[in-house]
Structure 1
Amino acid sequence: MPPLFAICAANAGVTALLGAGPTRLYPFGDAPENVAKPYATYQVLNGIPENYLDDPPDVDDWDIQIDIYGTSVSSVNAVLNAMRRALEPHCYIERLGGTGKEPSTKLLTTSFDVSWYHPTQ
């Protein structure tokens, strides 16, 4: 799995918005109940090994969805922009999602997807 959390948690722009120790960026699309806002979640959409005829894969292509939640348009957009700046040197932004309001929590939300070529371990 690519080091998405480590890169975001080490970025001052991201931690200024999502905090540090802990950084409010949660795997598997699942955040704790009553977490401070804004926050973000991420989940793997799929991964594809770079297969070869003679050798095992040395790199995987990961597609990861990042969802951002907040109480204001400006906070959601600020997190989106900070995370993009932190991640774009390492991967490709594949999709910028729509905006909406989470029905159960009434939080504002947006998402984006990244495609990340990461060496196998």
Structure 2
Amino acid sequence: MLPPIYTWLKASNAVKAIIGNTPRAYRPGDAPQDVTQPYVTWALVAGVPDNQLSSTPPSDRYTVQVDCWHTTDKGVEDLAKAVRNAIEPNAHLTAIPVNNRDPETKLYRIALQFDVLQTR
């Protein structure tokens, strides 16, 4: 029912080269307290069915935000590029709403928002 973000990331050699063969990609609240860096978090921002009067919805539209976390500025840019290349064959990049350094963790962060159309 949800977009297979983890599956798309796991299929990418470029992503796995940065965040591990079992990619460190977590849904909200699932990243361990002392997670190994770099890593990715992803969350569903919005989701709506493509409603029709004559039948059940044939597809659902989702907005997903994928946050890339790294200890270096160049590292987070490389990770964001790899994530983008892994997901874009299946979704449309619509925004890059965050590009900063977290003041608490000191990790660099780039957030990517994608729109996904998923048939049911």
Shared fold per TM-score greater than 0.5: yes
- Deviation string 1:50-74 (CA, Å, 9 cap, x unpaired) is 0001100010001001111111011
**1:98 corresponds to 2:76:** no
TM-score, scaled relative to structure 2: 0.94
Within a 5 Å distance, the mapping from 1:106-117 to structure 2 comes to: 106-117=106-117
Name 1:4's counterpart in structure 2. 5
Aligned residue type for 1:112: L
Name 2:85's counterpart in structure 1. 85
Aligned residue type for 1:62: Y
Name 2:75's counterpart in structure 1. 75
Structure 2: distance between partners of 1:32 and 1:68:
15
Structure 1 runs (4+) deviating above 3 angstroms are none
- Post-superposition shift, 1:20? 1.4
| Bigger shift: residues 49-58 or 100-109 | 100-109
The answer on whether the counterparts of 1:60 and 1:119 sit within 8 Å (CA) in structure 2 is yes
The answer on whether the counterparts of 1:28 and 1:44 sit within 8 Å (CA) in structure 2 is no
Name 1:28's counterpart in structure 2. 28
- Deviation string 1:19-41 (CA, Å, 9 cap, x unpaired) is 012x1110126421111111110
Unaligned runs of 5+ in 2: none
Say which SS state the counterpart of residue 28 (structure 2) adopts.
helix
Structure 2: distance between partners of 1:27 and 1:94:
20
Q: Structure 1 vs Structure 2: percent identity of aligned residues?
A: 29
Say which SS state the counterpart of residue 31 (structure 1) adopts.
coil
Structure 1: distance between partners of 2:74 and 2:10:
21
For these two proteins, the number of residue pairs brought into alignment is: 119
Unaligned runs of 5+ in 1: none
The answer on whether the counterparts of 1:29 and 1:43 sit within 8 Å (CA) in structure 2 is no
Structure 2: distance between partners of 1:115 and 1:63:
5
Name 2:19's counterpart in structure 1. 18
- Post-superposition shift, 1:43? 0.3
- Post-superposition shift, 1:103? 2.1
